[in-house]
Structure 1
Amino acid sequence: MVDYQRVIDWLDVWIADRSKRVILVFLVLTVVLGTGLVRVSTESGTSQFTEDSPAQEAFDAVNREFTPPFAAENGSTQLIQTGRNVLSKPELLAMLKAQYRLERRTEFRVSSTTSAARIVAGTLNPNATTLEAQIRTVRRATPTEVETAVRRAATNPGFRALLSKDFNRRSASASATIGIVEHEIPRGLAQQAGAESSGDDPLTRIQVRSESVVGSVDSDIRVFGSGIISSELSNVTFDSLIIVTPAAAVLILVFLLFAYRDPLDLLLGVVSLVMTIIWTLGFMGWIGIPFTQLLVAVPPLLLAVGIDYGIHAINRYREERVTGLDISPSMRRTTDQLLVAFFIVTGTTTLGFASNLTSRLQPIREFGLVAAIGIVVTALIFGIFLPAAKVTADRFRDRVGLPVFGLRPLGEEGSALGRLLQGSVTLARRGAPVVLAAALVLTVVSGYYATGIDTSFSNEDFLPPEQTPSYLQSLPEPFAPGTYTVTETTNFLDEKFAAVQGDTVTIYVQGPLREDYALESIQHANRNPPKSFAQADRRAESESIITVIQNYSRQSDEFRQLVERNDIDGDGVPDDNLGQIYDRLLSSPARGQALQYITEDQRSTQVVYTMKSGASQNAITRDAQQVADRYRLDATATGETVVFQSIAAIIFASALRSLATALLATAIFLAFVYRVLVGRAAFGVINLFPIVVAVSLLAGTMRLLGIPFNALTATVLAIALGLGTDYSAHVVHRFTDEFEHETDVFAALTRTVRGTGGALTGSMLTTVAGTGVLVLAITPVLGQFGLVTALSIFYSYLTAVLLTPSVIVVWERYFE
């Protein structure tokens, strides 16, 4: 065995005899790392997950190379107007005024505007081309003239697309309309300005500031766009942190009062927890990791682990003090055992968190890195600083004569908790093999049931609920959450506007589009589409460059004749001289429509397919990829649905990969550590068995409660393994110490579950409260993560206390 005791003895000297120097060093480090807090930026939304995704890269290329209707080159803002009739004269004037006031402000960089009101004004007076002239035109028109102009404008498909589905041409009325404001923002402006978060994005600033300008118009018009979404997502992250952290602190304080029962010990524990958060967040700031919605979960997790370490340290120290030992000898005996236990626990927990570094998604990798660093920081503070501070505090208490509270350890002999915990030893004595057999059966059943867990990834995971729960609305400032409109507005658009109904999928095609087979390849791919594709006459409903060619052929006889001369098989799709056809099309009045589907260099095109309503995200993605494979050119299926489904698949793979990595790494680590420490690698397996049971139970419970693997809960299985090993490691390591002085395995187990079990109980209660409080977070994904993390901790505690004695008894009887 390696002589690790020399390192422990060296630390004992510093902790017990040079405690003030230790405290000073840690306080200086806290100040240094604390300066990194001001460097922490924020990032939110789904875009952080879609980086490096082939489907997202194709989607970006489509948005970059083609010009969809009403999309500005650098960003657009939607003005959503609602009312009894948004086509009445007063409402038309309100929309025109809103767009005019935005256009006049140079800081909004307005390049163009579109609205139903502008179309009506142009119908009234074709010579009124500016917003100012159109305002005068509508103001001078009578209500009857306005109604007539609305009916005439209704023949324009673009006009109808801007109106809600309840538009009535006869009464010239609609309850909602969308106005578009396009902005011209020079590339690189955000980077030149030193923007580090979504709130510094130029489009976000424009849209947030435009709300006050639009609000000055006498009408119900709301501003909406990607900048507003980014702003609210950032606000939700911050508001969730403001709500969750104090709530966790209050609950933790309550349970710490139960665990410590001493004001001075409570103060030391709280100071250590605060230092842990400062060190971890400061580290993030110094290395430039932004604070994302996933990282909101890190502070409660670190609080949970810190509480566990703190309670173990104080409780173990009290076990020695009640025997009559003085301060220094008591702390020396405490750290002799706990520093080794903390090393084991820190190693396994860090491996559990760090296993998320195997994920292909950067936010999950950053979560794993920050959490792993945080665990190491927690071990240093609670393993070295807290014991040193406890020695200094007790010496100060003795010197000034302060009273001592709560000196008795949790779970001591004769206490109600001690008797309850001893039940697991009684169970092991009477039927350890039966206990293990039942645990194995439960593990297999729960694990098999868990194979049906859903996987999801969507905007809804990160958006605030449409209606903020009443218990959150009643919170006082500064904890009261803000007003969130994104979800309500998104649902409103889905409900009111036909243009946003149903899913579409885009096939992004690259290659020599001038080749004779290029358009026939598109035509062939559309035949006999998969089930999720909308279809007519066994052809997929789609929009492509073929659609533009056919539409313009009906408008131009000369172009139709050109197409017919080059349509060898007479199916309406040209086969020869495609370059000539494209050139003629791009020099015609249909140029704008053509550029929506083919690039200027004629090397890329997009085909937009309509999907059946109600088709699942998985079916749409699978079928879209099947259609893309039919193309002779390089084709990639993309679109929001495809991108999100690809991320969902990565999330599921990440969950399994992280769990497998954590399980293997933890098993190797534990076997090595116990081989080095006590000469028995088998203790590593003993340590791991209860946690495998806990992870299986957790996965089964997730499916039972309908909680899917999403961007955050995908990390929980590996985290459960890391956190859960904490509980069993304390039990196993305490047993190895007690077994050295006891010839009877049951006597050693009894002392173990009374001493360490008592500390574990206090730790479990505070940790469940600290992580479970995430259910108060505003975003659903954080609430789900808080619930499953709390469950994982409870299951880990339960299996560590109930199963570990039986595993040890079976090992001692049949293998030792």
Structure 2
Amino acid sequence: MLRRALQRSTDFVTKHNRIVLLVMVLLTAGVLAGIPQIDMASQAGGTTDQFQGIDRVEKSQYIQNNYTADTQRSNRSVRAVYVRDDGGNVLSKESLLAGLRYQQSVRDNESVAAALHGDGIVGLSNLVATRAAGDRGATLSEQIRALERASASEVERLVERTLSDDPRAARFLPADHDQGSAAATDRRMLVTLDTRTADETRDAAGTALYDASEKRQSAGFFVVNADAWADYRQHFFGEMVELVLPVALLLVLLVLAFAYRDLVDVVVGMSGVLLSVLWMFGLLGWLGVEAGTMSIVPVVLITGLSIDFGFHVFNRYREQRGEDEGIREPMSRGVRLVATALVLVTVTAAIGFMANVANPLPVIRDLGITITLGVVSALVLFATVVPALKISIDGVLERVGIDRRKQPLGHGRYLRPVLGGSVTLARRAAPVVLVVAVLVGAAGGVAWASLDKESYQQSDGDVAEWKQQLPGPVGWETGDVPGQSAHIDEVYQPASAADAFQSQILVEDDVTSDGTLEDVAAGVQRIEDEGVLIDQPGTQAVRSPVTAMQAVARQNDDFAAAFQRADTNGNGVPDTDLESLYDAFYAANPDVASQVLERTDGEYRSLLVTMALNGDYSEATDVVPELEDGAAVMEGEGARTATAAGGLSVQTAVLDEIVGGIIMTMVVALAAVVLTLTLVFRYMHGSATLGAVVSVPIVLVVGLVIGGMYLLGIPLTLLTALLMSLVIGMGVDYNIHVGDRFADELRAGKPPIAALQAAVTGTGGALLGSTLTSAGAFATISLVPQAQLQSFGAIVVIALVTAFLASVLVLPSLLLLWSRYSGVETPTPDSTADPMPQD
């Protein structure tokens, strides 16, 4: 039934090509009307609700539901303005004066003045200038005049005294700065905004800080905030389009010119490619699927897959057209012969891509849906528009005397022997080929356990010099923000506890037993000894029941007495009668107590320790084990449970969950592909086992991709781990084309060796062209100086190349062994006969 339906539709397209083109033009206009409706706000992150079942995620949600926020901290937000001069001294008179004048200019801004907290703007320049003025309360104008009057040597002495006498000075300098030195290449000033002002006002203030720093770039000023990142992303996207797309397009056109050796076919094929991409975006708009910064990935992938479809349509048409034949009949036969394979490729690829719909990260779900829509669009267009357009153009050209017969790729005197060599290899050493393939694939699979795991790959913004030296608009102009951000993370600690990455440890169960708080304090000390907490003068890196009680005790004499009674050994940590102490704590200051102790129905169920970390997501794999060690100490002898549940811990747990589940995802996707091929080959070609044999090399491709990741040092991240299932969608493509062609040739009456020769040299030629264009297009992604995109491009290139090699080197041996041991007999050519003996 399916074969007859495909035949009828193909016959209609080839006989009524003008009607088909008219209908498809109207349909394309309707589809493309969805493009303006595309939502470009796709987010890469997920929410905790999407990861239920992970202990740390559930504990994080528990903390949000059962603990109140620290309102004292929440009324201020610290923004940093940086000054950097690698070849100079940012503690010189000129640089410090520039800092004061920067403050003066931003204070004149209405948004900054409205959003500024009482703590104001403070930097090392203020500490030095107030000394120069002899008045700690000197106004900003007085500070500027005092510093202007001082000589350079006097300012140097003032800097030295400030660094040695004022502990606040360390907050404005790199963590490793020598406090005895009056010279530095980096410093910062801190701007404190009041979070009680409107969000729009604070955003406008941040923009003013950024704009003022941009005007002082020559003096080394810069700000890394939302405005800086927004400008960088816009710049990055423009550079990516100008560099990657021209190179990818040039490479694709060169390969198409080599493969087709015909300008008309190149134009027709590229028309189908362009329409496939446009249809994909139009369908995204109509369906409301989000598209974000990763949209370059499906564009390149669909470009490669649609070019693959074009190769097969054109190549089979060229093979089918005889010397005295017209255009319509061979095109009809050619499309009918590849239609089954194209449908199978679409279905199985969609299985691999749509497996990501169950993934918790929105960007991955959107990628799976987007690519699937693109593959379906390519199938529709290359089964209708491309053949109809090809017939129309070739018909016109032949009517004016231009012969449109062309040799198919793979049948030339150079390429045919190369591709045919795999058949010779299969005939002589098929068992050896399979053994080698199994060993190589298994070695790659074993490398899975050795892959590095990172929460994400951080880019430092470095761009190869040759990319910057390319002529004209394709030359990459570097953006400073990633490098500045990486430099800040390297040399500075967070400006305050509120600006640092926060990590919570939730202690549950018997939290009123003697020794609980001492175990908690010991666990905190263990973490602090490992150097993962911020260490800033005047900044409290830890908020725990002990530190909160100590703060309240300093203000409440009654509670101070209760605190001392509970501290029997005088070490500052209560160790007995804790339930009574907790009651007194709640009575003295319930707001503070509710931030560190959970009391429900009069029962104390948990306590919370919050720490400000000197680290970020890129360091999660190093920091989280230290937090877990501290949590283990807090558990004491096992009477309690302690769980690290901060952002770094949650992300690490999510990564572990995804990496642990990706194998199951790939197994399910592989099983679905095998089942689909088995059923379709049984129905279309009369052999279920042939479908199973065709699907076997996919496992080899997966193993080789894993091995390639290991050799290239590509880590498992949230993105690369989840995208592994895409490998299945790409890896199955080439095998289906070779297997389907082999079955067609057997049905046509050829013996197995001849059928295999026709499949490998005919279809293999199209596969080679497809591999060169698709892999080349994705290889251009490596031009983008962004680690995640480079890793993704590398994985896809490895998948495409290994899938091609598996289809022309390994699959022929499998097919030959299948033909020997499945009892295949050469049938008499008859289109009405059963296509293959029953299994």
Counterpart Cα distance in 2 of 1:773 and 1:727? 22
Tell whether 2:659 aligns with 1:652: yes
Q: Which amino acid in 2 is paired with 1:624?
A: L
Tell whether 2:418 aligns with 1:408: no
Q: Is the 8 A contact 1:544 1:606 kept in 2?
A: yes
Superposition deviation, residue 308 in structure 1 = 0.6
Residues 739-758 of structure 1 aligned to structure 2 (within 5 Å) = 739-742=746-749, 744-758=751-765
Counterpart Cα distance in 1 of 2:550 and 2:776? 65
Q: Equivalent residue for 1:690? A: 697
Q: Equivalent residue for 2:314? A: 314
Q: Is the 8 A contact 2:506 2:645 kept in 1?
A: no
Superposition deviation, residue 706 in structure 1 = 1.4
Tell whether 2:186 aligns with 1:176: yes
Counterpart Cα distance in 1 of 2:679 and 2:727? 21
Superposition deviation, residue 738 in structure 1 = 0.9
Q: Is the 8 A contact 2:423 2:812 kept in 1?
A: yes
SS in 2 for 1:527: helix
Tell whether 2:811 aligns with 1:801: no
> Structure 2 stretches of 5 or more lacking a match?
824-839
Change (3 A) 1:125 1:41: farther
Change (3 A) 1:397 1:50: farther
Counterpart Cα distance in 2 of 1:296 and 1:522? 53
Q: Is the 8 A contact 1:248 1:773 kept in 2?
A: yes
Superposition deviation, residue 399 in structure 1 = 3.0
Q: In the TM superposition, what whole-angstrom CA distance separates every residue of 1:238-271 from its partner, at most 9, and x where no partner exists?
A: 5334422222111000000011111111101111
Superposition deviation, residue 497 in structure 1 = 2.8
Q: Which amino acid in 2 is paired with 1:365?
A: R
Residues 58-207 of structure 1 aligned to structure 2 (within 5 Å) = 58=60, 65-66=69-70, 73=76, 76-83=78-85, 84-108=88-112, 110-112=115-117, 113-116=120-123, 117-121=125-129, 124=133, 128=137, 131=140, 134-135=143-144, 138=147, 144=154, 147-148=157-158, 151=161, 155-165=165-175, 167=177, 172-183=182-193, 207=206
Picking from 24, 27, 30, the partner of 1:29 is 27
Q: Equivalent residue for 2:348? A: 348
Residues 455-534 of structure 1 aligned to structure 2 (within 5 Å) = 455-458=453-456, 460=458, 463=459, 465-497=460-492, 506-509=503-506, 517=512, 521-527=516-522, 534=529
Change (3 A) 1:552 1:803: same
Q: Is the 8 A contact 2:115 2:197 kept in 1?
A: no
SS in 1 for 2:482: helix
Residues 321-720 of structure 1 aligned to structure 2 (within 5 Å) = 321-404=321-404, 407-412=406-411, 415-458=413-456, 460=458, 463=459, 465-497=460-492, 506-509=503-506, 517=512, 521-527=516-522, 534=529, 543-545=542-544, 546-547=546-547, 549-550=549-550, 561-568=561-568, 570-574=570-574, 575=578, 576-578=580-582, 580-581=584-585, 605-608=608-611, 617-618=620-621, 620-622=623-625, 624-625=627-628, 627-628=630-631, 630=634, 636-653=643-660, 655-720=662-727
Residues 750-769 of structure 1 aligned to structure 2 (within 5 Å) = 750-769=757-776
Counterpart Cα distance in 1 of 2:819 and 2:692? 13
Counterpart Cα distance in 2 of 1:285 and 1:519? 62
Q: Equivalent residue for 2:826? A: none
Counterpart Cα distance in 1 of 2:197 and 2:181? 45
Counterpart Cα distance in 2 of 1:770 and 1:643? 36
Q: Is the 8 A contact 1:533 1:612 kept in 2?
A: no
Q: Is the 8 A contact 1:690 1:800 kept in 2?
A: yes
Change (3 A) 1:385 1:533: farther
Superposition deviation, residue 391 in structure 1 = 1.2
Counterpart Cα distance in 1 of 2:461 and 2:387? 48
Q: Is the 8 A contact 2:45 2:361 kept in 1?
A: no
Q: Which amino acid in 2 is paired with 1:479?
A: V
Counterpart Cα distance in 1 of 2:157 and 2:708? 60
Q: Is the 8 A contact 1:428 1:809 kept in 2?
A: yes
Q: In the TM superposition, what whole-angstrom CA distance separates every residue of 1:128-177 from its partner, at most 9, and x where no partner exists?
A: 47645654565566774895487357555443212224655556554422
Counterpart Cα distance in 2 of 1:403 and 1:207? 67
Q: Equivalent residue for 1:199? A: none
Aligned residues: 786
Counterpart Cα distance in 2 of 1:559 and 1:130? 41
Question: What is the root-mean-square deviation of aligned Cα atoms in Å?
Answer: 4.2
Q: Is the 8 A contact 1:272 1:386 kept in 2?
A: yes
Q: Is the 8 A contact 1:494 1:501 kept in 2?
A: no
Q: Equivalent residue for 1:810? A: 817
Change (3 A) 1:162 1:127: closer
Superposition deviation, residue 665 in structure 1 = 1.1
Q: In the TM superposition, what whole-angstrom CA distance separates every residue of 1:506-563 from its partner, at most 9, and x where no partner exists?
A: 2254889xx9839953431343689877369xxx997234235547868998875453
Change (3 A) 1:172 1:550: farther
SS in 1 for 2:188: strand
Counterpart Cα distance in 2 of 1:792 and 1:679? 30
Q: Equivalent residue for 2:829? A: none
SS in 2 for 1:9: helix
Q: Is the 8 A contact 1:309 1:383 kept in 2?
A: no
> Structure 1 stretches of 5 or more lacking a match?
191-201
Q: Which amino acid in 2 is paired with 1:163?
A: L
Q: Is the 8 A contact 2:100 2:126 kept in 1?
A: yes
SS in 2 for 1:177: strand
Counterpart Cα distance in 1 of 2:616 and 2:317? 65
Q: In the TM superposition, what whole-angstrom CA distance separates every residue of 1:2-28 from its partner, at most 9, and x where no partner exists?
A: x22331233123311221222233333
Q: Equivalent residue for 1:257? A: 257
SS in 2 for 1:410: coil
Q: Equivalent residue for 1:13? A: 11
Picking from 723, 731, 737, the partner of 1:724 is 731
Superposition deviation, residue 580 in structure 1 = 4.1
Q: Which amino acid in 2 is paired with 1:483?
A: T
Superposition deviation, residue 423 in structure 1 = 1.6
- Percent of paired sites with the same residue: 26
Superposition deviation, residue 505 in structure 1 = 6.6
Counterpart Cα distance in 2 of 1:359 and 1:670? 25
Superposition deviation, residue 281 in structure 1 = 2.2
Q: Equivalent residue for 2:836? A: none
Q: Which amino acid in 2 is paired with 1:177?
A: R
Q: Equivalent residue for 1:195? A: none
Q: Equivalent residue for 1:214? A: 213
Change (3 A) 1:49 1:293: farther
Superposition deviation, residue 230 in structure 1 = 5.1
Change (3 A) 1:528 1:95: closer
Q: In the TM superposition, what whole-angstrom CA distance separates every residue of 1:455-481 from its partner, at most 9, and x where no partner exists?
A: 222350xx3x43211222123454343
Q: TM-score, normalised by structure 1?
A: 0.85
